Amino acid sequence: MIKIGSMMTKDVITIQAGSGILEAARLIASKSVSSLVVIDGSKPIAIVSENDIIRGVVSKKSKVREIMSTEFNIVLPSTKFSEIIKTLKEKGIKRFPVVENEKLVGLVTETDVIEATRDFTRFHQIVQEIILAIFGLATAFFLFYFSPLRASIFG
Please provide the average confidence, as pLDDT, over all residues in the chain: 89
CA distance 26 to 51: 14
- Residue range 59-102, pLDDT digits in tens: 999 999 999 998 888 999 999 988 988 888 888 888 999 999 98
pTM of the complete model beyond 0.75: no
| Confidence at 1, pLDDT banded by 50, 70, 90 | low
Tell me the backbone φ, ψ of residue 44, rounded to 5 degrees: -70, 135
For residue 29, count other CB atoms closer than 10 A to its CB.
Answer: 11
